[in-house]
Amino acid sequence: MPGITREEVAHLARLARLELKPEELDHFAGQLDDIIGAVARVSEVADQDVPPTSHPLPLTNVMRPDEVRPSLTPEQALSSAPAQEQQRFKVPQILGEE
């Protein structure tokens, strides 16, 4: 596999609107070449019987039943509020909206 050239790095930098110095072009060319080589090695290992995954372990949601349980009344919830209005917490205006 041929390595990444300085010209290819410069082209990618232009596409990304990055301004790179000449010594950075050489440095990033080597790094990009290493990255592409690592991805190629992973591609060689992956086989048809290995399903693609985004996580090494299966993800499961922990759910509980949605049951009505006793909770605070609006009066109890607002009892310690510094300010309230129409059974709601009243807070200072923040975005210039009314």
Structural domain includes residue 57: no
| Segment among 16-20, 55-59, 88-92 with least mean pLDDT | 55-59
> CA-CA distance, 74 to 87, in Å (whole number)?
6
CATH number for the domain including 32?
A: 1.10.20
Residue 88 neighbours by CB under 8 Å, 6+ apart: 78
Structural domain includes residue 22: yes
Structural domain includes residue 27: yes
Structural domain includes residue 41: yes
Structural domain includes residue 1: no
> CA-CA distance, 16 to 47, in Å (whole number)?
33
Are 46 and 40 contacting, i.e. CB atoms less than 8 angstroms apart?
no
What is the residue range of 29's domain?
A: 6-45
pLDDT digits (tens, 9 = 90+) for 48-68: 777 777 888 888 888 989 999
Q: What is the pTM for the complete model shown?
A: 0.44
Structural domain includes residue 23: yes
Structurally, how many domains does the chain consist of?
Answer: 1
